[in-house]
Structure 1
Amino acid sequence: MQGSAATSDEVILERIGSAAVIRLNRPKALNSLNLAMVRTMCAALEAFADDADVSVVVLTGEGERGLCAGGDIRVLYEMGRAGDAETTRFWREEFPLNYLIAHYPKPYIALMDGITMGGGVGLSSHGRHRVVTERTRLAMPETGIGYFPDVGTSWLLPKAPGETGTWMGLTGLEVSPSDAIFAGLADDFVPAEQLSELVKALSGLAPEADDEAVEAVLSWFATAPGESELQKHRTLIDRCFGHDSVEQIISDLEGEDGDFARRSREAILKRSPTSLKLTLRLLRDGRNSSGLVECLEREFGAGTEILCHHDFYEGVRAAIIDKDRNPKWSPPTLSEVTPDDIAPYVEGRHGTLFPEHRL
């Protein structure tokens, strides 16, 4: 493909015809986001929005393993342990980037090829055109590291059919490309080998091309994604995950037959009890929220509060630092996590990201 590129160490900005392509370029780290990458993306999107020669913006990841595995949690861990006052700077700039993507004035196409988790979901699922492939592995696995699904997913997940989003948020388990489409986090399935041709076709659109023109191109390449396991188990999910109590959800799963219920229950039982109760609270609050900004504000406050407690550091230690996969949560059981324990996470006492409260 013909084009021009401006290359940095971690983000490649490329022009191919009328398409502006953003390539996340940390393949050895599964394109995990850091603050410099967030800043580069934000500046690029603002510039492309004002460029009359740009018809569409395409987000992709270098390497074949994934679009983006999330934020660089190790950096947050190290800064938080050191008491660095700038620890929350990443979220202060990442969350407004998620908002920018959700309200981007030009067609924004995310190629969710391979691992797309955490912050990678924030970069893609807020966009208007989300493409998955047979290699897509999507998840919000944060309860497994003593955190919670953020980047505005407390706005997105409650919009999934029934309690599908609750299942995703609590279990943290990976879902298939067909599941991602069913849950409303993706739109089209395109075989990975066709992605370069898809970008080429998008690059040939007129500068004034709109979303309808993009959808016409996507429909040419899109194929059937196959059966969704979440759709198959929708009745069970709705029956078990409709409660406002994690304990009741686990109890109901225990009474169900089959491998799906067993895997779901076993996954939840490995997660941080505090994270589970906080996640369920955020998802329920998200369902009744006025918009994405309200959810991002609430998530920012919860994330800032989490830095003051044990489980995040213990979860990252077990998963990333020591890699023993054996976190010791505190409190260790759900029964020991009270509503009063969760209250500080959602009281909004850590400032605001959107002083004008854009909706």
Structure 2
Amino acid sequence: MSPDVPPVRTRVEGRAGHIVLNRPRALNALDHPMVRLVDEALTAWEHDDTVRTVVVSGAGERGLCAGGDIRAVREDILAGGGAASAAYWRDEYLLDARIARYPKPYVALMDGFVMGGGVGVSAHGDVRVVTERSRVAMPETIIGFVLDVGATFLLTRAPGELGTHMALTGTTVSAADAVLCGLADHYVPSGRLAEFTAALADADPAEAVRQYAEAVPASELAVRRDWIDSCYAADSVEEIVDRLQSCGEPAAKEVADDLLSRSPTALKVTLAALRRARRLPALEQALDQEYRVSCACLTAPDFPEGVRAQVVDKDRTPRWSPADLASVTEADVERFFEPGAYGELGLGSGELDLGPE
């Protein structure tokens, strides 16, 4: 992108402030400057009485945001150990918490791809709109990473074990499944999205939803609830895989095969993070935990290897270390939850002020 083209564009239409993620060729992947620019816009509008509603969307036709700039994170790890990435995640997670507590209606247009960091800047909002083109995912285990941007908190509140299924597999779900899992609220056909957005200039978001939202289509995950809930209720990744392989559902067997291709360490750490997040009282504590775990990934081999295999070389043959579930010990997992070199996020302790409730 030309240096003259801002990676985040802002504008005010009527009483709505618009934040547009503006890296369409990179599917609007988030980087540190973009996080800062979004935060600056929220600061500018928080006490501006002329702005009643904030709307976030993505430039181009492909999606809101396909996640963080993981190629840049890998380069940072290889060049300097990941300090810049830890600083980026700190500001990103603080932004996610701020969005969840923002005092004005925050409307997220989750059209197209919404993954990873894209979930962070949308699913913590007040009004989360999906379309028939929405493809929502937290695909971290595919690249040897772990759930972040508050997703451990969100997905542990999904019905049954649907959140565990989404988290471990990294599967991409439809608009209907996103609503079922609590990542979105309303369905607006893409053909009416421009009208819905224009209405926000004057109308209260709730009124715009009443005018333009339609019934949510049928959910594929809802049909699979029985075996998903049964299999993912297990206490270990190994047992989850065993249950998937033996439950008699062809789709479950395919899921087991998918899990066995993911990073064994990422799977075990993600499951542990989800189970712990279920006991946490608020998003802030979950983000504190996620920051600790994410920073630990900066010194582990699987994350840069997963990015290499999926994004850099694209050979789709990551060499995980350890290579199998049995070789990942409890001590290996526990290391990810210990305070690391980059300190603590400090949200749950109340050390940081995110603005008024």
The interval holding the TM-score normalised by the smaller chain is over 0.9
1:346 aligns with 2:346: no
Is the Cα–Cα contact under 8 Å of residues 55 and 107 in structure 1 kept in the other structure?
yes
Match of 1:9 in 2: 6
Tell me the distance in 1 between the aligned counterparts of 2:23 and 2:179.
26
Tell me the distance in 2 between the aligned counterparts of 1:355 and 1:71.
21
Tell me the distance in 2 between the aligned counterparts of 1:224 and 1:192.
14
Tell me the distance in 1 between the aligned counterparts of 2:24 and 2:243.
41
| Corresponding letter in the other structure for 2:259 | I
Give the direction of change, closer, same or farther, for the CA distance of 1:199–1:317 in structure 2 (3 Å limit).
Answer: same
Alignment equivalent of 2:349, drawn from 350, 353, 357: 357
Match of 1:114 in 2: 112
Match of 1:314 in 2: 305
Alignment equivalent of 1:217, drawn from 186, 204, 208: 208
1:291 aligns with 2:282: yes
1:235 aligns with 2:221: no
Tell me the distance in 2 between the aligned counterparts of 1:104 and 1:266.
41
Tell me the distance in 1 between the aligned counterparts of 2:114 and 2:108.
11
Tell me the distance in 1 between the aligned counterparts of 2:22 and 2:157.
31
**Structure 1 residue 81 displacement after superposition:** 0.7
Tell me the distance in 2 between the aligned counterparts of 1:357 and 1:25.
34
1:271 aligns with 2:262: yes
Residues matched between the structures, number = 346
Pairing 1:29-44 to 2, within 5 Å after superposition: 29-44=26-41
Pairing 1:60-99 to 2, within 5 Å after superposition: 60-84=57-81, 85-99=83-97
Tell me the distance in 1 between the aligned counterparts of 2:240 and 2:306.
23
Pairing 1:171-190 to 2, within 5 Å after superposition: 171-190=169-188
TM-score in terms of structure 1 length = 0.94
**Structure 1 residue 355 displacement after superposition:** 6.0
| Corresponding letter in the other structure for 1:173 | T
Is the Cα–Cα contact under 8 Å of residues 132 and 175 in structure 2 kept in the other structure?
yes
Tell me the distance in 2 between the aligned counterparts of 1:185 and 1:237.
18
Is the Cα–Cα contact under 8 Å of residues 108 and 127 in structure 1 kept in the other structure?
yes
TM-superposition CA deviations, 1:131-155 (whole Å, max 9, x none): 0000000010000100011101111
| Corresponding letter in the other structure for 1:199 | T
1:245 aligns with 2:242: no
Pairing 1:17-28 to 2, within 5 Å after superposition: 17-28=14-25
Tell me the distance in 2 between the aligned counterparts of 1:355 and 1:145.
27
- More displaced 10-residue stretch of structure 1: 225-234 or 173-182: 225-234
Matched residue of 2:238: which SS?
Answer: helix
Structure 1: 5+ residue stretches without partners: 1-6, 206-212
TM-superposition CA deviations, 1:158-217 (whole Å, max 9, x none): 000000000000010100100000000000000111111111111113xxxxxxx42222
Matched residue of 2:56: which SS?
Answer: strand
Deviant stretches of 4+, over 3 Å: none
Tell me the distance in 1 between the aligned counterparts of 2:187 and 2:302.
37
TM-superposition CA deviations, 1:297-336 (whole Å, max 9, x none): 1111111111111101110000111110000101000000
**Structure 1 residue 13 displacement after superposition:** 0.0
| Corresponding letter in the other structure for 2:166 | M
Match of 2:151 in 1: 153
Matched residue of 2:107: which SS?
Answer: strand
Matched residue of 1:23: which SS?
Answer: strand
**Structure 1 residue 116 displacement after superposition:** 0.2
Tell me the distance in 2 between the aligned counterparts of 1:251 and 1:49.
50
**Structure 1 residue 128 displacement after superposition:** 1.0
Alignment equivalent of 2:318, drawn from 327, 349, 359: 327
Tell me the distance in 1 between the aligned counterparts of 2:200 and 2:347.
36
Match of 1:210 in 2: none
| Corresponding letter in the other structure for 2:214 | T
Is the Cα–Cα contact under 8 Å of residues 124 and 130 in structure 1 kept in the other structure?
yes
Tell me the distance in 1 between the aligned counterparts of 2:91 and 2:191.
34
Give the direction of change, closer, same or farther, for the CA distance of 1:276–1:233 in structure 2 (3 Å limit).
Answer: same
Tell me the distance in 2 between the aligned counterparts of 1:329 and 1:355.
32
Matched residue of 1:87: which SS?
Answer: helix
Is the Cα–Cα contact under 8 Å of residues 120 and 151 in structure 2 kept in the other structure?
yes
Tell me the distance in 2 between the aligned counterparts of 1:53 and 1:8.
26
Pairing 1:115-154 to 2, within 5 Å after superposition: 115-154=113-152
Match of 2:355 in 1: none
Is the Cα–Cα contact under 8 Å of residues 284 and 347 in structure 2 kept in the other structure?
no
TM-superposition CA deviations, 1:35-80 (whole Å, max 9, x none): 1100000010111111100010000001110100000001110011
- More displaced 10-residue stretch of structure 1: 221-230 or 118-127: 221-230
1:53 aligns with 2:63: no
Tell me the distance in 1 between the aligned counterparts of 2:294 and 2:27.
23
Is the Cα–Cα contact under 8 Å of residues 173 and 267 in structure 1 kept in the other structure?
no
Is the Cα–Cα contact under 8 Å of residues 144 and 172 in structure 1 kept in the other structure?
yes
Match of 1:258 in 2: 249
Structure 2: 5+ residue stretches without partners: 353-357
Match of 1:209 in 2: none
**Structure 1 residue 87 displacement after superposition:** 2.8
